[in-house]
Structure 1
Amino acid sequence: MTNKIKDAIYTKRYVYNLHFHLIWCTKYRNKTFTNEKLSNEMKDILQRVADDNEIVIEKMEVMPDHVHMLISFPPRKSAVDVIKALKGRSA
């Protein structure tokens, strides 16, 4: 009988359940995402970056002056590289 970890992701080589809560602010906390169109554009950009980099966005909220994301990704990727990809392409 095997004991499986609830909500863990099982692959051929490893089992993981990594979640990162990312928050980043606009420069000088300017209220940049003031309407739904801008907010949706940012969500689309971040989703494309996530799709290109094996990142699962579990939750995302774009506020007028900051972004919240709860993400998961395979342990073979470094957190630094994932954050760099998300922030770099969304700037």
Structure 2
Amino acid sequence: IKALKGRSAFLFLQTHPEIRQKQYWGGHLWSSSYYLGSLGNMSKDVVERYVNDQKYNAYKK
């Protein structure tokens, strides 16, 4: 997960350097946490609720 987040952030910030310059998110593109689960064991509603909760929690900080 760290490798995926690190590489995707690197590639994104190469093409969008203005994000780094403005210091959004304390200079970080991703949070240090992650969630991993098999969709075979979860309903779409559970996944959707998790994603929506992440959006909500990001705005609370």
TM-score normalized with structure 2 length: 0.41
**Higher relative contact order at CA 8 Å, sep ≥6: structure 1 or structure 2?**
1
- Please say which structure displays the higher CA radius of gyration: 1
Q: Could you state the TM-score of these two structures normalised by the residue count of structure 1?
A: 0.31
Structure with a larger share of its residues in strand: 1
Normalized per residue, the structure richer in helix is 2
